Amino acid sequence: MKIVSLLFLCIMSQITFGQELFSPSKKVAVRFELTSSGEPIYSVLYEGKEVIKPSKLGILLKDGTRLSKDFNTIDSQIKAVDETWSPVLGEQSNIRNQYNEKSFFLVQKGSNKKLTIVFRAYNEGVAFRYEFPFEKQVDYFVISDELTQFKLTGDHKTFWIPGDYDSQEYPYMETLFSEIDNNKVVMDNGIALKSIKSRFRVQSPLMMKSTKGVYLNIFEAAVVNYPVMHLDVDTSDFTLVSNLTPNAIGDKAYLRTPSVTPWRTIMVSRDARDIVASKLIYNLNEPNRIEDVSWIKPMKYVGIWWEMHVGKSTWDYAGSQNAQNAQNQDLIPSGKHGATTENTKRYIDFAATHGFDGVLVEGWNVGWEDWFGNWKEDVFDFLTPYPDFDLDEVTKYAQSKGVKMIMHHETSGSVGNYERHLDRAMDLMKKHQYPAVKTGYVGRIIPRGEYHDGQAMVNHFNFVAQRMADNKLLLNSHESTRPTGYSRTYPNFFASEAARGNEFNAWSNGNPPMHETILPFTRLLGGAMDYTPGIFEIKMSIYDASKKEQVQTTLAKQLALYVTMYSPLQMAADLPENYERYLDAFQFIKDVPLDWQESRYLEAEPGDYITVVRKDKNSENWFLGAITDEHSRTTDIQLDFLTPGKKYKATIYRDGKKAHWKENPKSYEIQSLTVSHKTKLKLKLANGGGTAISFELLNN
Amino acid sequence: MKIVSLLFLCIMSQITFGQELFSPSKKVAVRFELTSSGEPIYSVLYEGKEVIKPSKLGILLKDGTRLSKDFNTIDSQIKAVDETWSPVLGEQSNIRNQYNEKSFFLVQKGSNKKLTIVFRAYNEGVAFRYEFPFEKQVDYFVISDELTQFKLTGDHKTFWIPGDYDSQEYPYMETLFSEIDNNKVVMDNGIALKSIKSRFRVQSPLMMKSTKGVYLNIFEAAVVNYPVMHLDVDTSDFTLVSNLTPNAIGDKAYLRTPSVTPWRTIMVSRDARDIVASKLIYNLNEPNRIEDVSWIKPMKYVGIWWEMHVGKSTWDYAGSQNAQNAQNQDLIPSGKHGATTENTKRYIDFAATHGFDGVLVEGWNVGWEDWFGNWKEDVFDFLTPYPDFDLDEVTKYAQSKGVKMIMHHETSGSVGNYERHLDRAMDLMKKHQYPAVKTGYVGRIIPRGEYHDGQAMVNHFNFVAQRMADNKLLLNSHESTRPTGYSRTYPNFFASEAARGNEFNAWSNGNPPMHETILPFTRLLGGAMDYTPGIFEIKMSIYDASKKEQVQTTLAKQLALYVTMYSPLQMAADLPENYERYLDAFQFIKDVPLDWQESRYLEAEPGDYITVVRKDKNSENWFLGAITDEHSRTTDIQLDFLTPGKKYKATIYRDGKKAHWKENPKSYEIQSLTVSHKTKLKLKLANGGGTAISFELLNN
């Protein structure tokens, strides 16, 4: 039976038509073909060898139309682009966008329906998307499925997390492709809401490495008015197929002509640094739409947040997190509420003393007694402070200290409720001069039946970014869909969480040491992450002797994350009183910039290590971050990125000799020395450790 | 088999426990019992005879709990209430709320779950509801089904429309109960969006008449945070069962303890006037929640609206109603756009000349080129006028003439989009001093999968009413869920459509002459209707000789509707130029008040006729409206409602001698005479005709 159908397939798939498109470097190529039955098929080549085998393309419409066969190519069009643009905030001042493009204009026999497939060949990979040209007879249409395949050439090493429609907050699994299986994932992982509908479904970006040392990354760019793509895994023949997040009634996307899908991207290189440094995802997004960007600035902040995670204080005023207490009796303060005026002033003082831009306060508004887990619609009004949080006084105090307040809008997943209040909530921010907001979406989505990754939610997150831009407000969203470069278009959407952040270390099985060596190859490709590094009191036993949780890190690694984990929004997440005890190490967090002229990845291996240097956008100073996984690591770094002939004061923050993420995490050393571009430095990273270095240009 | 199961049922249902609650008049009684298996059962008696046979009660929860059996009564409580309240606007200055109440506190064996069933016995019927008392172990819960039965005693005459989750805009069917069948409904009826999921499902209010002349009406009151109840029909044993409108994923209602369901009402009387005059539905709602009601005033209005229905002008600027024209090219005005500044001024002038309060303008805002039928999300922004509608100039002109503008917000069913814009839309209204808004919900609901009648939409309509109240704005919603008395609680929600309005006469098979004799027994029980009467140019052939549509009325009946169809918001729906030709008849529309001290239904028979007199709230003048169905009618009316010893100038607007709704609809006569409370008037109503009379107190 199987042989017969395979034979049949071979006959049907006899290739009648071939096309090839090369990257500017000629190293990467994509080949597009129509089979004899008019099926669109593509493959990707790297250095002349297939890295994606002939894979099917197509779209299934709700009206039954299968836009996956019976096509003729009526025309094609080639374009070569080489342009450079400047992000408002970023890892580098200028980004080169260089690619060759070929569009295939297809028409379906019989139905006469049109479909355009556009390929772009970049030096670091291939992107393609479907375009639905303007057609009188197909105006509005509904996508039931996208049939895009990615047929791999072998059993690659794969860094994956389950294809969960509601959460990306998983630690990464590192297995062979053939071993992917959601049943292997430890589900006691602190994630409260999980929506895994298939055992063999993973998320993108999916980072892989072939046995021959070729790195592959499958992702998407410019997810706008379309659901997030997950990937169905066929472990038997190394094939991935797109799985679009459905809505409440099982539809995938509501579109009309003309429109386009997001770009499907396949990055490929023999050098892992090409992947981690790639700006492909941004390049595939639409240019900045905000005219006046003078108000879009990086923010380094502290906040009333970690103290709730470690159990020192609570988000809610009544301290019980009990719905019924709030409903049936007056709020009785427990005395453990974090967001008090007094405590906020303490953080403002700390921020002012150490030159931080902002202070985040979570739990300032009523509703936290019953905010989670009940699919409740009217959770927060985003307007009413708790009785012990005086908005006017906090505003006045922050202004007197030159510190900016960061608003917090937890929606609890009740999106309709948030949208209903959004204008008023922004008015409150403007009245009290909060320049930025952190949003949260912990919980099942309302409208009920929607997922975090569905088209409606993608549109919601983008809508909020647009409305915030209209009001000159900065947006940092947590529990949102993972970004796919939209911050190019709306640079005020300057960070998001959308992955497993540092917080999980406070109260769950946490993030293994390799976690932060994978994120730059996955989550960070689409946009900056508010990872909230900087935890100095690493073991939670300091708060409660019975606690076994800890950040799986050394202290020096926490510093290095400010460089390895690019974001224009960075929190110093630990408590002020903890920083007070390690002010020498804290100096690096104070010094490190958040916006860069240039970035160079010196070393990178997903799951193992990353070393990156970045040059401050506003000075001649450089900063280095190096991290490793659970293994210790020694490496020699040539400082040839420094300007020849100049001298720099290097301040090195490194693991102590006996440091170890588990046994001895807080051991660190600080050393200063004068260096030049000729200097070679030996970095010694402890197990789960890191090194951070600032290079300050000396006036010779 | 059938006999066996019936026998079994008889044994199981052996009644072990009985309770009876009488109305203050003793005419109506409700009996509550638990069967031997702990099933709650009720029956309703009128004049000692069963009108609702023993019928089951119960709730099914999503977690599988069947709150319909195994109950014990742990306690009961009796209450007698006799109070009077004053509606802000209404048919009468004071409403008496007199009833006896008995609550049964049930506990389920095994689960230990609590359910309270509360009965109220009024002189005109019975109401009951389920209450979910505060329970630690059942905080949040989801209702999967409500199991309420209404077992009728015979094959009553029934006025019904299909149980459609998205529309109540059907003409009524008048059949025996046993003949109910949605397959009999003419579906080429002008309703674009139909969601009829069962052949044997009807809407409430369901008006019935037994062969013994007892009138019965099944409805609900205070539908708040709960879906609309439809009724599943078992024609074989004359049974109705509640069918709650589901949400996108099939759930019915999300509640938490303590909470209550809407009231289920069974009105019963031998006199049909008791039903049509009943204030039961309002009495079962919560009192007014708006403190300052000084801004809540009736409104008589004209507007740019009927001219679109008759094809004289268009809502959209480009005149094409073509999505793609608007998307792909600049808007090219067709010259037929109705909502121009100039045309608006013409209506303002007309309103000012004739003493109208307001002018409605539909089609003022961009989006109408592609507003309907495509499940489009971003249809309107509620903010941007068409280029030919100058909002500032219109505002200034209206103010100079002392006329108020009525805003129009068509949502196209895209509710998320409306809620996102609501605050800004209200800000625009306030800036331009529009005191009232007409909202519209034509089309499939977004969030997709929701129905107009679901819990989410009930909450939406109530939310909009609340937000409008916060902003001192009046609300008139079209295509909303039919009201169930919420205007008592939010009197700014002063009218809605939610039934088949006059507009259907312009372009569909229309509303048969009996239609308006049924609405007061059904739709109007829950709240005022913006029916838009006053069409003088009855036959559409005046606009286009080929048109066969017409309002199925005489001109005099159109006047009578202003009295028979109570609403504090009344439109004179026809075109100014049409009224100019019949200014003598138009005088009645100018004179008729919209707010009343007292109303008396002199005659009423559903489907046949209604005669009502009402006394102006602000004077001693009375007004009479009498309408009939397709049959002509002669009746003698004793004017004993007039104050004895006083003389009144009666101005009688009646059908011409040869008037007939189809053959000769525009024939009318106006007569003035002096009358007193001793006068007897003979009213002669043409087929499909009516009579309107104003009684002006003379200074003797």
* Residues B360, B303 contacting (CB under 8 angstroms): yes
Compute the average pLDDT of residues A38-51: 97
pLDDT digits (tens, 9 = 90+) for A440-478: 999 999 999 999 999 999 999 999 999 999 999 999 999
pLDDT band at A699 (very low <50, low <70, confident <90, very high): confident
Distance CA B539, CA B516 (A): 18
Considering the domain boundaries, does residue A251 fall inside one?
yes
Q: Look at residues A249, A283, A317 and tell me which one is the last residue of a structural domain.
A: A283
- Which of the following is catalytic: A410, A503, A516, A549? A503
* Residues A65, A113 contacting (CB under 8 angstroms): yes
Total domain count, chain B = 2
Identify the weakest region by mean pLDDT among A634-643, B128-137, B461-470: B128-137
Does the pLDDT of residue B561 top 90, yes or no?
A: yes
Q: Which residues make beta-bridge pairs with A244?
A: A229
pLDDT digits (tens, 9 = 90+) for B256-280: 999 999 999 999 999 999 999 999 9
Considering the domain boundaries, does residue B442 fall inside one?
no
B426 → chain A, closest CA residue? A423
* Residues A57, A148 contacting (CB under 8 angstroms): yes
Do the Cβ atoms of A375 and B463 come within 8 Å? no
Q: Look at residues A264, A283, A302 and tell me which one is the last residue of a structural domain.
A: A283
pLDDT band at B318 (very low <50, low <70, confident <90, very high): confident
DSSP for A467-504, written as a single string: HHHHTT-EEEESSSPPPSSHHHH-TT--EE--S--TTH
Distance CA B104, CA B220 (A): 20
> Average per-residue pLDDT in chain A?
95
Do the Cβ atoms of B376 and A140 come within 8 Å? yes
Do the Cβ atoms of A419 and B423 come within 8 Å? no
Distance CA A167, CA A453 (A): 8
Specify the DSSP class assigned to residue B656.
-
pLDDT digits (tens, 9 = 90+) for B422-439: 999 999 999 999 999 999
Q: Look at residues B283, B307, B338 and tell me which one is the last residue of a structural domain.
A: B283
| CB-nearest partner of B423 from A134, A424, A450 | A424
B257 → chain A, closest CA residue? A324
Give helix B415-431 / helix A415-431 axis angle, nearest 10°. 40
Where are the extended beta strands (E) located within A293-380? 299-304, 358-361
| CB-nearest partner of A323 from B139, B374, B422 | B139
In A, which residues are within 8 Å of B372 by CB distance? none
* Sign of the alpha-carbon dihedral angle for A617, A623, A626, A627: negative
In B, which residues are within 8 Å of A245 by CB distance? none
In B, which residues are within 8 Å of A377 by CB distance? 254, 459
Considering the domain boundaries, does residue A305 fall inside one?
no
For residue B1, the model assigns a pLDDT of 34
* CA A516 remoteness from chain centre: 12
Does the pLDDT of residue A8 top 60, yes or no?
A: no
In A, which residues are within 8 Å of B140 by CB distance? 323, 374-376
pLDDT band at A140 (very low <50, low <70, confident <90, very high): very high
Considering the domain boundaries, does residue A400 fall inside one?
no
Does the pLDDT of residue A269 top 80, yes or no?
A: yes
* CA A373 remoteness from chain centre: 25
* Residues B129, B265 contacting (CB under 8 angstroms): no
Identify the weakest region by mean pLDDT among A100-104, A329-333, B10-14, B501-505: B10-14
For residue A331, the model assigns a pLDDT of 75
DSSP for B479-540, written as a single string: SSPPPSSHHHH-TT--EE--S--TTHHHHSS---TTHHHHGGGTGGGGS-B-------S-BG
> Which of B257, B419, B448 should be substituted to probe chain A, the one whose Cβ sees the most A Cβ atoms within 10 Å?
B448
Residue carrying structure tokens 């007698």: B80
| CB-nearest partner of B448 from A249, A324, A420 | A249
* Residues A206, A172 contacting (CB under 8 angstroms): no
For residue B14, the model assigns a pLDDT of 33
pLDDT band at A700 (very low <50, low <70, confident <90, very high): low
In B, which residues are within 8 Å of A375 by CB distance? 140, 254
Ramachandran bin of B252, using left for φ above 0, alpha for ψ from -120 to 50, beta for the remaining angles? alpha
pLDDT band at B320 (very low <50, low <70, confident <90, very high): low
* CA A214 remoteness from chain centre: 23
A252 → chain B, closest CA residue? B448
Considering the domain boundaries, does residue A359 fall inside one?
no
CA distances from A168 to A148, A228, A479, A529, B340 (A): 22, 12, 8, 13, 52
Do the Cβ atoms of A419 and B424 come within 8 Å? no
A136 → chain B, closest CA residue? B324
Q: Which domain holds residue A111?
A: 2-283
Considering the domain boundaries, does residue A157 fall inside one?
yes
Distance CA A154, CA A149 (A): 15
For residue A138, the model assigns a pLDDT of 77
Task: Count how many pairs of residues, chain A against chain B, have C-beta atoms within 8 Å.
Answer: 81
pLDDT band at B330 (very low <50, low <70, confident <90, very high): low
Give helix A583-591 / helix A555-564 axis angle, nearest 10°. 0
For residue B425, the model assigns a pLDDT of 98
Compute the average pLDDT of residues B442-447: 97
Rounded to a whole number of angstroms, the distance from the CA of A439 to the nearest CA of chain B is 17
Dihedral, CA of residue B175, residue B178, residue B184 and residue B190, to nearest 10: 60
In A, which residues are within 8 Å of B443 by CB distance? none
For residue B5, the model assigns a pLDDT of 40
Burial bucket for residue B180 (CB in 10 Å: 0-12, 13-18, 19+): buried
* Residues A384, A366 contacting (CB under 8 angstroms): yes
Compute the average pLDDT of residues A681-696: 98
Distance CA A219, CA B155 (A): 65
Compute the average pLDDT of residues A297-304: 98
The set of catalytic residues of B is 503
Each residue of A394-419: b (16+ CB within 10 Å) or e?
beebbeeeebbbbbbbbbbbbbbbbb
Residue carrying structure tokens 């509360």: B118
Does the pLDDT of residue B232 top 80, yes or no?
A: yes
And the tokens for B480?
A: 């909303």
Do the Cβ atoms of A447 and B248 come within 8 Å? yes
CA distances from A29 to A43, A47, A80, A242 (A): 8, 8, 14, 21
In B, which residues are within 8 Å of A374 by CB distance? 139-140, 256
In B, which residues are within 8 Å of A459 by CB distance? 377
* Number of CB atoms found within 10 A of residue A277's CB: 18
Q: What length is written for chain B?
A: 700
For residue A573, the model assigns a pLDDT of 98
Does the pLDDT of residue A179 top 50, yes or no?
A: yes
| CB-nearest partner of A374 from B140, B248, B422 | B140
For residue A19, the model assigns a pLDDT of 66
Determine which helix (DSSP H) or strand (DSSP E) holds A543, and give its type and residue range.
none
Do the Cβ atoms of A140 and B424 come within 8 Å? no
Q: What length is written for chain A?
A: 700
Considering the domain boundaries, does residue A695 fall inside one?
yes
For residue B334, the model assigns a pLDDT of 81
In A, which residues are within 8 Å of B254 by CB distance? 375, 377, 448
Specify the DSSP class assigned to residue B207.
E
Higher pLDDT among residues B370 and A454, named by residue: A454
pLDDT band at A13 (very low <50, low <70, confident <90, very high): very low
Do the Cβ atoms of A139 and B323 come within 8 Å? yes
CATH number of the domain enclosing A638: 3.20.20.70
CATH number of the domain enclosing B263: 2.70.98.10
> Average per-residue pLDDT in chain B?
95
Compute the average pLDDT of residues B556-560: 98
For residue A332, the model assigns a pLDDT of 79
Residue A30's contacts (CB-CB under 8 Å, 6 or more residues apart) are A20, A21, A42, A43, A44, A45, A119, A121, A126, A128
Do the Cβ atoms of B449 and A377 come within 8 Å? no
Considering the domain boundaries, does residue A209 fall inside one?
yes
Compute the average pLDDT of residues A581-603: 98
pLDDT digits (tens, 9 = 90+) for B643-688: 999 999 999 999 999 999 999 999 999 999 999 999 999 999 999 9
For residue A446, the model assigns a pLDDT of 98
Rounded to a whole number of angstroms, the distance from the CA of B458 to the nearest CA of chain A is 14
Compute the average pLDDT of residues B468-484: 98
ipTM of the complex: 0.93
Specify the DSSP class assigned to residue A526.
G
The pTM (predicted TM-score) of the whole model is 0.94
For residue A358, the model assigns a pLDDT of 98
And the tokens for A344?
A: 């906020």
* Sign of the alpha-carbon dihedral angle for B239, B244, B250, B255: negative
Which residues on chain B place their C-beta less than 8 Å from a C-beta of chain A?
A: 134, 136, 139-140, 247-249, 251, 254, 256, 323-324, 327-328, 374-377, 416, 419-420, 422-424, 447-450, 456, 459, 463
> Which of B423, B428, B460, B470 should be substituted to probe chain A, the one whose Cβ sees the most A Cβ atoms within 10 Å?
B423
Rounded to a whole number of angstroms, the distance from the CA of A304 to the nearest CA of chain B is 30
pLDDT digits (tens, 9 = 90+) for A194-209: 999 999 999 999 999 9
| CB-nearest partner of B449 from A249, A324, A328 | A249
Q: Which amino acid is at B114?
A: K
Do the Cβ atoms of B420 and A422 come within 8 Å? yes
